[in-house]
Amino acid sequence: MTPVTSKVCVVGDFAVGKTSVVERFVNNHFSEKYLTTVGVKIDTKEIESAGTGIAHKLVIWDVAGSDRFGDTEFAYLRGASGYIYVADGTRPATLGAVENLREQIAGKYGPAPSVLLVNKRDLTSEWCISDERISGVSGAYDDLYRTSARTGEDVEHALTRLAGLIIDNDFRGA
């Protein structure tokens, strides 16, 4: 049976761990080396949709980090079924960047399923975004996860949760 295919975009400020989150989800791998993404990286992963058993192929667009998008980046997002917003728990400003991007994207393309990942959970001694601050923005997203691409904590949960939201939004609701 042909799988359902969805385009998912991963966005957030630079060096928050977007590529690492995708690498952990797609290949269950993590690299300590930081390598800046230029343009967009595309990966795919097929999963089984929770509950329905539907084969769901996610085409993941890992967009270069930025705190504000221009025409080039918006072109990448066109046709996306859902968004993964990623912030860095050790850099409070990245949560603000995610908020900017979410507002820009919603303004341009309208509402879409989304999850917020506050990443680098493993760096407990450097973690400096309070629970109150995270709770304050979490209402704008369908779900919130404190993740670690290094350990894998909650990465798969977050992406499969988004996949489920997309199925609900694009197919069941349709």
Partner 1 sequence: MELPAPVVDYLQSEFLSQTRPFCFLIDDNYRLIESWGRNDWCGLTGLETAVDMREPAPFLVGIDISALQQFEFIETSGRAVVNVHVIPADGQCYIVLLDAHRDHASLQSKQQSVNELRLMHGRLHKLIERQRELISELIETRSELDHHRRDAERISANKSRFIAMMSHEFRTPLASIINYATLAGEEPTSSNDVQKSIETISRSARHLTSMVEAVLDDASLDAGQVRLVEADFEIYSLLDDVAAMMAPLAAEKGLSFATQIDPDVPEVIHADEVRLRQVLINLLGNAVKFTLDGGVRLVATYNDGRLVITVSDSGPGISLEDQERVFQAFERGSRQDATGAGLGLTITLRLVELMRGEVSLDSLPGEGCTVSVHLPVQSAAGDAARSAPVLPTPSNDTIATKALSILVCDDDDDMIALVEHYLHRSGYGLITSSDSSEAIAKTLKYDPDLVLMDCNVPGVGGVVAARVLRERGYAKPIVALTASKLSDEEKAEFTHFFRKPAPMQQLLTEIKRLTH
Interface positions with partner 1 (CB under 8 A): 5-7, 14-15, 34-44, 59, 64-65, 72, 75-76, 78-81, 91, 93
| Nearest distance, CB of residue 14 and partner 1, angstroms | 5
Asked if 81 contacts 113 with a C-beta cutoff of 8 angstroms, the reply is yes
Nearer to partner 1, 34 or 131 (CB): 34
User: Looking up tokens 């595309």, which residue turns up?
Assistant: 42
| Nearest distance, CB of residue 65 and partner 1, angstroms | 8
| Nearest distance, CB of residue 67 and partner 1, angstroms | 11
Alpha carbon distance 128, 22 (integer Å):
24
Alpha carbon distance 154, 17 (integer Å):
14
Nearer to partner 1, 123 or 157 (CB): 123
Nearer to partner 1, 63 or 117 (CB): 63
| Nearest distance, CB of residue 169 and partner 1, angstroms | 14
Nearer to partner 1, 62 or 154 (CB): 62
